Every structure is written in structure tokens, then in C-alpha cells.
Structure 1
Amino acid sequence: MKIEILCVGNELLSGKTLNTNAHYISASLLKKGYETNYISTVSDDQKELLIGIKTAIKRSDVLIITGGLGPTLDDNTKKIVCDFLKIDLKYRDDIAKDIEKRFGQIASIEEQATVPKSGYIFQNEVGTAPGFAFIHASKAIILLPGVPKELEDMFEKHAMIFIQKHFPIEEKVYQEIINITLLEELKVDAILRACQLPKNVILGIYPSHGIVQITITTKEKDRSDAVKTINFVKNQIEKELEDYIFIAKDGKIETAIHNILDKRDETIAFAESCTGGELSSRITKIPGSSKYFLGSFITYSNKLKKDILKVSDKTLKEKGAVSIQTVKEMIKGVFDITDATYAIAISGIAGPTGGSQEKPVGTICLAIAKRSEDIDAGILHLPFTRSLIIKAATNIAFGALFRRIAHNLEYFEK
């Protein structure tokens, strides 16, 4: 069985709106063991939309169309699909009353309450546009609103149940994700190539600036067989990469740090320069981080490095703000001001200007330490844009902190 997601909207093609709906639907299908085979995007133009529908229905058994169900002039999906299936539309008083009850007398009630005479209607409990499903020539066409909150609610309560009922599957797709920190994609790839793989296993590698995700995917009729197959491969990977693996359902390294410190009587604090508060921002987004996170000193200027963290004027003049000696003194300043168990200090050149031949853009000095122990410090070279330099530096800093906390390992070679 093949499933296709067809997303409708000029805003998606122009890049104005990020297509989060396709991501949500494909991820939700995978959780239930279904595999998405195609994801397509078409404009609001009626001719283009019809071509997209015809193309998709030829190659897919289940076609999920998102967007174009609203009342405005560029919402054509309902009409185009009904014309394609030769289904008439009719006004439903019960749907109109439901909309009026929740939203009052709005101008779009008549349009939204005009629905196909046949097929399945999915109530929109969040917005006004109903969803629909049709069985056509042993295939399914499902229409969902484009507004993410409406789509997600409707997919979970109606569309997913419809798919499972009318298109049950014998072999389900099972997948496990392994999160890796501080290793490059090619190093991970070399280890995966050496693994012994069953024929029904597919491995995937997805790098993201200091983080690499490995997916282990298989198809099995029985869940227990899938678990055995995945564990056979997973155990080989863990044997080689144990010290670099972190556990976090959301795939974020800061969540792995949270999961450890939430169970300990230990604290952390940061001194940030080039990251401008990114470290503290990501930590404080996690509920409960106040238990262990004391705070961060955003010492962007040399003056604040001296006044707050007591970095020496001699160090700043002779070594510069972007130097190993400076971040070591920043770490010492954090420990003098706070009673943190662990600390991170970071200073660098995020660009696009400010670099030199000696210290080009992307030069980042990083230090990680546990109180009363040696400071682990070194230099990173990150040849990216400003935003990606900050992202990568933050991921690497968190990765180094994670390995120090979880395994008492240092990141930089002596």
C-alpha cells in the first residue's frame, strides 16, 4: 500500500509558510506503522490542483490532501475533488448550527456548511472547515484543513482511525532513533557500514551541526519480532558509540542534560559571549530546569568580561577575547560568583565580520569544567553562517557538558 500527502497552497511553494503539516502527518502515520511514500505540493490554481490529484491517485492507495478547505477565493480543494469524483454538494443545517454555536454568526457559515452529499465528514472541533474522506475505486481520498492545529486534531480523532479501519496493514513499519553527539557524520557512517544488518533493516543518518541521528527501520508483522531485529542492530551501534549516545525523546541534547540533572543534586551555570544567551535560552525552555540551572552571564563585551567575570585585562590585551585563556578565566569567574557544580564558557567570532587571518569567522573558544577539577578547553572551527555557527557551537557545548556529566569524559585532547 502506498500513501501520498498532497499539500495545497501558494504560500508553501513560495516559502512563506513552512510545511509542518506533511511532517506531522508522516510522523503520525509512522507511529501507527504506516509508511509515507510521497509528499507533493501544488498551488491553489484549479488546473494545477486537478493535475496534482490525478497524478497522486494513480500511484497511491491513500491520498491525504491538506489545505484549500476554507471560505476564501483561493480555497478550491473541496470543489475540485467533488467535481473529480462527480459528487454534488449540499447545505447541512446541523453543521451550520454547530459552527454558529461555537463562533457565532460569521459570514462563512453557509460555505463551510456546504458539504459533499456522499462520503465521510470529519467534524472540525477547532475551526470551521469540516474534513472529508471518500472511497473511490478501492482507494481513499482524505481532505483536511491546512491550519496546523485544526489538521492535527482532525487527523488524530478522525483521519487516522479512518485509515486504520479501511486500510489495515499486515506488516507495520517500526523505527528507533539513536541520538549521537560530538561525532561527525562520516565517522558514524563508517561504524554503521561495519554493522551486520538483517535484510529487512534500513539505516538512516541525519546530521545537524554537532548532532547526528541514526534511524533503524524495519517491517514486521509482529512487534516482538521487530524489537528483536532493531535491538540486534542497536546493540552493535551502542557497543561502538556508547559514550556519544544520549537519550532524549525530542532529540535535543539539552533534554538529555536535563534528564540527568533532574535526578541529581548538582547545578550548572554559563558564561556566554558569541552565543548571546542561546545556551540559557534552550535550557530554560525545558520545564523544571530551575531545579539545577542557576543562570548565565552574557558578557558580550570585554568590559563585562572584566567587570563581572574578572577576566584579566592582561589576558584580553595579550590573548584576546577569543582565546583559550579567556574562556578559562570566564569559567573561574562563574565558579567564584556561583556555587554551580558545572560551568560552560564560550567566546568566539560568529561573523559575518570581525574575523582575521589568525582568527577567522567561525573560530570559537569553548571551556567546560566541574568545580575543583581541571578545565577542559579548546578551539572549534565552524565554517558556517552566523546563525549556524551559534547553533553548532551551542550543540557542541551541550554535548561536551553532557559527556562530562554522564561519563566524566573530556572533549578536547590534551
Structure 2
Amino acid sequence: MTTTSRSAARHGGARGERTPIGTLLLIVLASLSAIAPVATDLYLPAFPTMTGDLATGATAVQLTLTAFLVGVAVGQLVFGPLSDRVGRLRPLIGGAAICVIASALAALAPTIELLIVARFVQGLAGAAGMVIGRAVISDLAAGPAAARAFSIMTLVTGVAPILAPFVGSLLIGGVGWRGVLWVVFALAAVMLVAVVAVVRETHTPERRRRARIERAENGSAAKDLISRAFLGNTGAYGFGFAVMMAYIAASPFLYQVLLGMNEIAYGLSFGANAAGLVIVGSVAARLSASRSIRGMLGLGLSVVGAATAALLIVVVTGAPHWLIPIPIFVAVSGLGLVLGNATAAALQAVPRASGSGSALLGALQFGLGAAVSPLVSLGGENDPLPLAIVMVTCALIALAAFVVAGRPSD
């Protein structure tokens, strides 16, 4: 046992005391993490309509997505370390409240410029639920229990960005894109109420006092954040998520323009991918008690890498376009083995700074999402090659980061 782990056990630090995670709490935390993906993707089917309504171009409309992702990335860096210093609950409630206000402003925005600003603030504040939700689980669980909880969260946070466009495609015809943004506002308001009613402080003053004692004995926890285990597993998570974000950002034009689908067929395609992610994520949660985190993570990354390579082959060989959704389905499904296990492996490496670790994890996740979103459209609406290149590149980097992380005992 290392000096850090001995001290944590002696002082009841991050790996010491553990409380079972109640089902209701886990549902609320997972839903908080899903608000940002839902706000990201619920309005995707309306992109072509928004260009006309706001008298702007496709690039400007896509900037509303990029601004939101940048806001989420920055917000995680703000709320994660803050929750380590002052506790989880107050920053969580504050972020949820600001997210509600920003959601209303987004729905009311009369111009594309104001919508971009509102979406940035919405992402910034909504990040609190994502980063602090992970930190709360890390406060309460470790090892297989944490892997199972994070896998369950992945089912929600992973399915949300895939299923949201399907739901959005059903709503847009009746309420328009502004109505869809009002739905996001309503969801944010419900989650604010849920936070106040259900979530309790897990990083208590006593825990923070113990953390200060541990820092005095063993030095700053910042050194844990530059460990090979944390950086490698964080890289595997971030670039694995970037695979999915590349697909999501390209999907409106890939399915509706290149493949000629209408909004309902586009949504159904997303539903099929969501089903694959749910099934594989459910298997990952069940296997967490009997299989190693690293083994499942390695298998998932291998599947994603092979599927994205197959996508690139389909595109560069000029194969029929109807084949494209097949490797995409396999890649997205494979992420069910990746995201939850990579989260657990990364935060397991930083028990003394779970809030800051969660912040860096999420910042990389959405920072990469913001970076890849504009790249996939470089070839125009009818060229899937940039998407294939971005997806396979991110998958290979994720696999390399997994190798760099090494085994927990390395």
C-alpha cells in the first residue's frame, strides 16, 4: 500500500469511507450529466431551418454547438476545483440555477449572435452537473462499485446525445426549434428542483479537513493529476468521446443530405445507435463485478478502432453510401465499454482530487468535442471523408492513450 493510500485509509479520505449510492441519487446525477448532451443535440435536426429563421449560414448555426461545447469545457475547469474547495452542493445548485436562466435566454434569442452567447453560458453553467456528479460518485464509491455507477451514468449520458436528435425530430414539426429550446429550459428547471430535493453534501467540511491533513503529510494532490494512469485513461475517455461527437456533429448532413433521409428516418437511425450503446453499456455494468476495468476498456477501444477503420475503408473505396451507418453503429456501440470504464479508471488514479480530476476529464471531453465538430464538415455537406478521418484518428489516439496508462500496478 502506498503512502497516499495508507493516509487515505487512516484519515477516511477519498478511499476511506464509502456510502452506498442510492438509486434515486444515481438517477439524479445521471440526469444532471445528461442535460448538457440533451441541450447539445436536441435541436440538431433544426439546423437547416435555423439558417433561414435567423438569416444566417450553416457555419454560424454550427457555432451555437461549438460555443456550447466550449462553455461546457471551461465550466468543468471552474466547477470541479471549486467543489474540491467548498464542497459539492453549493456549486451544483448555483450552476443549475444559472443554466435555467441561460436556457430561457437561448430560447428567446432574436439573433444568431445572442444565441451563440446564451449557448456558451448555458454550457458553462450546465457543466456543474456533469463534473460534480462524477465527483459525488467518486466520493461515495471506488473500484467495481464506481465502475458500475459510471457505466450506468454512461448509459444515460451516452444515449442522450444520440437519442436527443430523434426526439428533436419529432418535436420540431409541432413546436419549432425555439420550442425545442424551451423543452431544454423545462428539463433544466426540473433538474434544479431535483438537486435541491435529493442531493446532499458528500465532500463535507470534515472530509475537506482530512484532505488538508493528507496534503500536509503527502504533498499536493496535483502530482496525482499528472500521473501516467490519470493522463492515459483521461486521454482514452476524451478521444473516445470525440469519436462520438464527430459523428454527432456530422450526422444532420450525413443522414439527411448524403443519405437522403427525412427527419424521422434520421431520428430512427440515431435510435438504433442508442440501442447499441444501451445494450453494450448494460453488459459493461453487469460485468463490472467480475471483469477488470482495464480489460473491458481495452476491448471497447479495440472494437471502436476496428469499426472506424472500416468506416474509412468504406469511404475511400467508394463503396455504396448505405454501408456507412454500419461501422458507425459498431463504433458507437463499442463506446458502451469505453466511457464508463475509462471514467472509473481515471478517477481511481486521483482519489485525493476527484473534483479536479473530473474537471480535467470533462474539459478534455468537451474541448475535443468542440474541436472535432467543425472539422467533420471541411469537405462540405456531401463528403464523408473528413468524418471518417477524424473518427479513426481519435479512436487510434484513444487506444494509444490506453496503452500509455498501463496497468494500475505499473
With normalisation by structure 1, the TM-score equals 0.22
With normalisation by structure 2, the TM-score equals 0.23
More strand, by proportion: 1
